[in-house]
């Protein structure tokens, strides 16, 4: 899957991922009205609204991008119905040949991580049958429990040729509270990054490992260091756009081959029509606004990379 991600990035020329994190506030009124008319103002109505919203954005952008990253929390808040919308979104993105990064940030003790890995990336045995559930291509994973909480995910990645992005340095303001603390003279995130590199050696694709890392766009100097610590790991970079990161800050997340990083934007793309820059599209043409925001983001990042490559 890392080979496929790399190929798709090269083909589209777009090292970006669209974060499908639909807050109900982002969904234009005409869609909310249609969904509520069918299902009422219920969890099922909300789930239908975010699914319709996603579908239009996917239809308007899939030819430009290699991958999407649905944030499962935005679906999970609407309960079982919300997770049905998550599943529909994953399946539809696969129909459109997109790589799907499930932003689930799971992680637990070994046997429990094995269950998460089966449900999100792998298969589960039911009687004499083997079934797959959510079936994303990559997921994000939390490393706080250490190696035996990560290994079951790595094992499924080896079996299924899927991948992980393990949290190393997150994009939020208080990420330093624990992640930056010095351990033997180095920040904790560097120790985690060294483990990511080691875990990644066990499942290499052609040029990059199946095991990547999450490093926030909001800490570019740290990104530069971590690029060196994990040369074979793809870095998933959240925090571009709405959270403050800009293309020029991100060049050091990439390797000299112009690969090795994939930059996420969520709100900045899916709620583009609410920004002044794209207000001309209006709520009715929200998906066209998203397409334009994708084009602008690609241009920003390619422009920044041209200086480097």
Identify residues 241-280 at the interface with its own copies (CB under 8 A): none
Query: Any long-range contacts for 118-123 (C-beta under 8 Å, 24+ apart)?
Result: 118/156, 121/153, 121/156, 121/157, 121/160, 121/162, 122/156, 122/159, 122/160, 122/162, 123/160
State which of positions 7-36 bind its own copies (CB under 8 A). Answer: 21, 23-24, 32, 36
C-beta closer to its own copies: residue 6 or 243: 243
Q: Closest distance between its own copies and the C-beta of residue 167, in Å?
A: 6
CA distance 155 to 282: 47
Q: Closest distance between its own copies and the C-beta of residue 143, in Å?
A: 7
Taking the mean position of all CA atoms in its chain, how far away is CA 74?
Answer: 13
Query: Taking CB under 8 A as the rule, does residue 37 contact its own copies?
Result: no
Mark the segment that binds its own copies (CB under 8 A) among 8-16, 59-67, 111-119, 227-235.
Answer: 111-119
Mark the segment that binds its own copies (CB under 8 A) among 1-9, 108-116, 155-163, 274-282.
Answer: 108-116
Query: Taking CB under 8 A as the rule, does residue 185 contact its own copies?
Result: no
CA distance 124 to 116: 10
The dihedrals phi and psi of 168, each to the nearest 5 degrees, come to -115, -60
Query: Taking CB under 8 A as the rule, does residue 225 contact its own copies?
Result: no
Query: Taking CB under 8 A as the rule, does residue 182 contact its own copies?
Result: yes
Choosing from 55, 88, 96, 105, which is the catalytic residue?
Answer: 105
Query: Out of 15, 70, 102, 149, which residue is the one contacting its own copies (CB under 8 A)?
Result: 149
- Specify the 3-state DSSP secondary structure of 28: coil
Asked about 105 being catalytic, the answer comes back as: yes
Largest CA distance in the chain: 60
State which of positions 190-209 bind its own copies (CB under 8 A). Answer: 191-192, 195
Mark the segment that binds its own copies (CB under 8 A) among 104-112, 197-205, 222-230, 287-295.
Answer: 104-112
Residue 50's nearest CA partner among 87, 14, 75 is: 75
C-beta closer to its own copies: residue 110 or 258: 110
Residue 272's nearest CA partner among 250, 256, 260, 288 is: 288
Catalytically active residues, by annotation: 105
């Amino acid at each position: 899957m890392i080979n496929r991600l790399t190929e798709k990035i090269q083909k589209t020329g777009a090292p970006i991922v669209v974060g499908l994190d639909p807050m109900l506030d982002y969904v234009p009124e005409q869609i909310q009205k249609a969904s509520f008319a069918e299902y009422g103002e219920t969890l099922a109505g909300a789930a239908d609204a975010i699914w319709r919203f996603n579908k239009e954005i996917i239809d308007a952008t899939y030819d430009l991008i290699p991958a999407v990253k649905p944030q499962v929390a935005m679906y999970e808040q609407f309960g079982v119905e919300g997770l049905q919308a998550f599943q529909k979104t994953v399946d539809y993105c696969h129909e459109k040949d997109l790589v799907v990064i499930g932003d689930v940030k799971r992680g637990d003790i070994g046997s429990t991580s094995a269950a998460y890995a089966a449900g999100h990336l792998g298969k589960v045995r039911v009687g004499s049958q083997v079934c797959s559930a959510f079936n994303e291509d990559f997921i994000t994973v939390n490393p706080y429990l250490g190696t035996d909480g990560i290994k079951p995910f790595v094992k499924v990645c080896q079996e299924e040729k899927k991948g992980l992005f393990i949290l190393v340095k997150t994009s939020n303001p208080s990420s330093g509270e624990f992640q930056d603390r010095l351990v033997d003279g180095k920040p904790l995130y560097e120790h985690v990054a060294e483990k990511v590199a080691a875990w990644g050696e066990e499942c290499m694709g052609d040029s990059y490992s199946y095991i990547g890392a999450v490093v926030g766009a909001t800490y570019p100097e740290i990104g530069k260091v971590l690029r060196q610590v994990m040369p074979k790991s793809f870095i998933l970079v959240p925090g571009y756009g709405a959270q403050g990161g800009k293309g020029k800050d991100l060049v050091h997340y990439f390797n000299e081959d112009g690969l090795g990083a994939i930059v996420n934007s969520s709100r900045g793309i899916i709620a583009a029509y609410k920004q002044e820059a794209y207000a001309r599209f209006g709520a009715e043409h929200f998906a066209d606004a998203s397409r334009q925001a994708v084009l602008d983001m690609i241009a920003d990042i390619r422009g920044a990379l041209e200086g480097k490559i």
